[in-house]
Amino acid sequence: MTASNLAAAPSASMPALDLAAPAVLQVRGLEKSFKKRQVLKGLDWSVPSGRVVGLLGRNGAGKTTLLRCLLGLSPIDGGSIELFGDPMLEPGGDRMHRVGFVPQTFDLFPWMKVRAYLDFTAAFYARWDATLVDRLLNEWELDAKQKIGELSQGQRQKLAIVRAIAPDPDLLVLDEPVASLDPQARRAFMGELLALMRAPGKTVIFSTHITADLERADADIALLRDGRIQFTRPLAELRESLRRVVFTRAEGWSHAPVVAGALKSHVQGEQAVLLIENPLLDSLHAFADRENASLRVETPTLEDLFVELA
């Protein structure tokens, strides 16, 4: 059997994102190591303006490291980063008025009260939406008079989000922004985020393990694996094109069938399981008949995709 007789449309034909849109972020050959551990291995990434991008990757894949490097918060060992078309060499500068960042943990200024902290932060920004701040404090039940050190982890995360959104950033970067939020707050947050950021020219990049949030956001999915971004594609497009294909036969499989367009395959007892891009169903059925196997073709959930690909 040859690869081509089972399926067509190899990965190289994957339609790309709209690259005509100006890139907010252009990363080339990014390298980053901690001592001998190389975390980012010549990573290339282009994020067009106006997208909501979910950064997926396993624990330790390097998501936090990447986000920190992008914003100049962590020095890089090689490659280049352009933010809004200019080289990113260090944090700060005028450009930072256009960027909001929500770190994974927020433990600054524990002695400050919420209101004082927000007023203090507002002074650094050219734009600051005080009306939005008051509305979010109210809706997210944050007490302006409470000290930050007395807030729960989830409340701190909400505060960090308010602080990041208030300057009306053009690029919002969030590192697992909803990990500490309860489902209600998560839903409200995602709604708020999308309402604010689904405006022309606004871009959001957020890392998460919660695939339901990516679905709610109808985000583009960027997969970080082996120190590189493997792809960045709209979720709807992934759903449309990827299928989980299961061949089953009693005598099992010595190895998984070789199929063009297969992104991943493994053998599990009687089953050979493949994740295939744009499978040709007639060819798959013919192969199953020849091999005396049954065939099942499923549309994977995003969680399935994450488990298979990450």
Ligand X SMILES: Nc1ncnc2c1ncn2[C@@H]1O[C@H](COP(=O)(O)OP(=O)(O)OP(=O)(O)O)[C@@H](O)[C@H]1O
* Residues engaged in binding ligand X (CB under 6 A): 34, 37, 39, 57, 59-65
Closer of 53 and 274 to ligand X (Cβ): 53
Q: Which long-range contacts (CB under 8 A, 24 or more apart) does 276-282 make?
A: 276/7, 276/242, 276/243, 276/244, 276/245, 277/7, 277/9, 277/10, 277/11, 277/14, 277/241, 277/242, 278/7, 278/8, 278/9, 278/241, 279/6, 279/7, 279/243, 279/245, 280/6, 280/7, 280/8
Comparison of 64 and 157: residue with beta carbon closer to ligand X: 64
Q: Which is nearer to ligand X, 59 or 131 (CB)?
A: 59
Residue with tokens 């700060």: 92
Q: How far is the CB of 197 from ligand X (least distance, A)?
A: 22
**Gap between the Cα atoms of 150 and 132, Å rounded:** 23
**DSSP-based three-state secondary structure for 247:** strand
Tokens 């690909």 locate to: 309
Q: Which is nearer to ligand X, 37 or 255 (CB)?
A: 37
Cα→Cα distances 260→61, 141, 180, 283, Å: 27, 52, 41, 11
Contact 171, 100 (CB under 8 A): yes
Judged by beta carbon, residue 65 or residue 232, the one nearer ligand X is 65
Q: Give 57 or 167: the residue with its C-beta nearer to ligand X.
A: 57
- Minimum gap (Å) between residue 39 Cβ and ligand X: 4
Closest distance to ligand X from the beta carbon of 103 (Å): 11
Rounded to a whole number of angstroms, the minimum distance from the CB of residue 38 to ligand X is: 9
Smallest distance from ligand X to CB 157, Å: 14
| 3-class SS of residue 46 | strand
Nearest-approach distance from CB 59 to ligand X, in angstroms: 4
Q: Which residue, 37 or 290, has its beta carbon nearer to ligand X?
A: 37
Q: How far is the CB of 160 from ligand X (least distance, A)?
A: 16
**Rounded-to-integer distance, Cα 67 and Cα 175, Å:** 7
CB within 8 Å of 141: residues ≥ 6 apart: none
Compute the least distance from the CB of residue 239 to ligand X, in Å.
24
Q: How much helix, strand and coil, in percent to the nearest 5, is found in the chain?
A: 35, 30, 35
Starting at the edge strand that comes first in sequence, how are the strands of the sheet with 271-277 ordered? 262-268, 271-277, 242-248, 294-298
Which residues is 296 bridged to in the sheet?
A: 246
Residue 41 vs 147, nearer CB to ligand X = 41
